[in-house]
């Protein structure tokens, strides 16, 4: 039997899949509070999910905190801070409060202050993959005053938890940086494949991209792209100008390509060729350090 009682604030898709997995792994007595439980449209789905996951629904946050000493908030980044502040007034001493929402590091730090000052232990929990395919085994990075204890309580039930730091905001920073790539990649694919579809070459484009990305590990692809672009940014700005002309001629949205051209111009303005010459540097780190050196005001 677990030495803790788990509760969820919000019982949408994320909470449902995690709770269902934990129940199947042997954790019993899970509870949840969702403000939409009595909603005529959404309420039936909340209750159906709770029943399927073996989770008991309670009628208020106060009831949840009166019976649970480990609480996971899985609502929305928009409401995370307000819910956390309300929770700080209800939790018992040493309650673990984990925020799973995709909120900014700044929001997680504010949450940490509210929870920790109230006598609880805060966990900045960053969910690193889509939850439905993984269930409770979705990779999760955690930081904050309660992060180690959180991992200690839930890892035995199969949760894939990586401790990052005792500083709240560290794991959400990791997620935000990853999101730049993952969501940016999605936007690029949408723009690329929409244009390809209109031109009748979407299958060939996908085959070409797959051939490039599948030919080597992503770290090596990143090294080649970043180091070569460092000394060829100006030329690539001009090439993106041609891409923009093409999309305009096709009557298609070019917002991702516009952003790409702007970013390449930003890189070109650093004139890294003056440092590296015509030979690409060996590492991505060398490029990043050169950029940061030029971006940081000199005292």
> What region does 158 belong to: left with phi over 0, alpha with psi -120 to 50, or beta?
left
pLDDT in the model for residue 299: 52
- The average pLDDT across 184-196 equals 98
Calculated CA dihedral for residues 58, 120, 167, 104, nearest 10 degrees: 40
Structure tokens at 23: 């129940």
| For the chain, percent of residues with pLDDT exceeding 90 | 97
Which helix or strand (DSSP H or E) is residue 43 part of?
helix 43-53
Cα(181)–Cα(30) distance, integer angstroms: 35
CB 103 within 8 A of CB 80: yes
Residue 296: the pLDDT is 75
Residue 1 has pLDDT above 70, yes or no: no
Residue 198 reports pLDDT greater than 90: yes
Over residues 260-276, the pLDDT tens digits come to 999 999 999 999 999 99
Q: Are 123 and 146 in contact (CB under 8 A)?
A: yes
Of the chain, the percentage scoring pLDDT greater than 70 comes to 98
Query: What is this structure's pTM?
Result: 0.83
Beta-bridge partners for 100: none
Retrieve residue 74's tokens. Answer: 């899985």
pLDDT of residue 253: 98
Q: In angstroms, rounded to a whole number, what is the distance separating the alpha carbons of residues 179 and 102?
A: 10
Question: How many beta carbons lie within 10 A of that of residue 235, not counting itself?
Answer: 12
Q: Provide φ and ψ at 162, rounded to 5°.
A: -110, 120
Please report the domains of the chain, with CATH numbers, ordered by start residue: 6-168 (3.40.50.720), 175-295 (1.10.1040.10)
* CA distance to 55, 160, 189, 192, 297, per residue, from 168 (Å): 29, 19, 33, 37, 27
* pLDDT, tens only, 55-76: 999 999 999 999 999 999 999 9
Alpha carbons within 13 A on the beta-carbon side of 158: 15
């Amino acid at each position: 039997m677990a030495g803790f009682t788990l509760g969820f604030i919000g019982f949408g898709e994320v909470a449902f899949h995690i709770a269902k997995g934990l129940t199947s792994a042997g954790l019993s007595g899970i509870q949840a509070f969702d403000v939409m439980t009595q909603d005529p449209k959404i309420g039936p789905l909340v209750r159906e999910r709770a029943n399927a996951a073996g989770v008991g629904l309670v009628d208020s946050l106060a009831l949840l905190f009166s019976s649970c000493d480990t609480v996971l908030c899985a609502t929305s980044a928009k409401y995370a801070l307000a819910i956390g502040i309300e929770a700080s007034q209800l939790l018992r001493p040493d309650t673990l409060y984990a925020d799973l929402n995709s909120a900014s590091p700044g929001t997680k730090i504010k949450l940490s202050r509210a929870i920790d000052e109230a006598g609880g232990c805060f966990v900045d929990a960053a969910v690193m993959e889509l939850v439905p395919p993984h269930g409770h085994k979705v990779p999760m990075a955690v930081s904050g005053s309660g992060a180690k204890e959180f991992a200690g309580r839930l890892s035995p039930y199969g949760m894939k938890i990586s401790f990052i730091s005792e500083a709240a905001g560290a794991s959400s920073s990791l997620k935000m940086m990853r999101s730049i790539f993952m969501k940016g990649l999605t936007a690029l694919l949408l723009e690329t494949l929409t244009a390809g579809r209109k031109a009748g070459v979407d299958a060939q484009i996908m085959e070409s991209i797959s051939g490039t990305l599948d030919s080597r590990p992503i770290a090596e692809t990143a090294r080649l792209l970043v180091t070569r672009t460092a000394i060829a940014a100006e030329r690539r700005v001009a090439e993106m100008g041609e891409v923009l002309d093409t999309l305009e001629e096709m009557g298609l949205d070019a917002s991702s390509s516009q952003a790409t051209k702007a970013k390449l111009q930003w890189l070109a303005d650093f004139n890294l060729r003056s440092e590296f010459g015509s030979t690409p540097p060996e590492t991505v780190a060398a490029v990043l350090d050169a950029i940061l050196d030029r971006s940081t005001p000199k005292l």
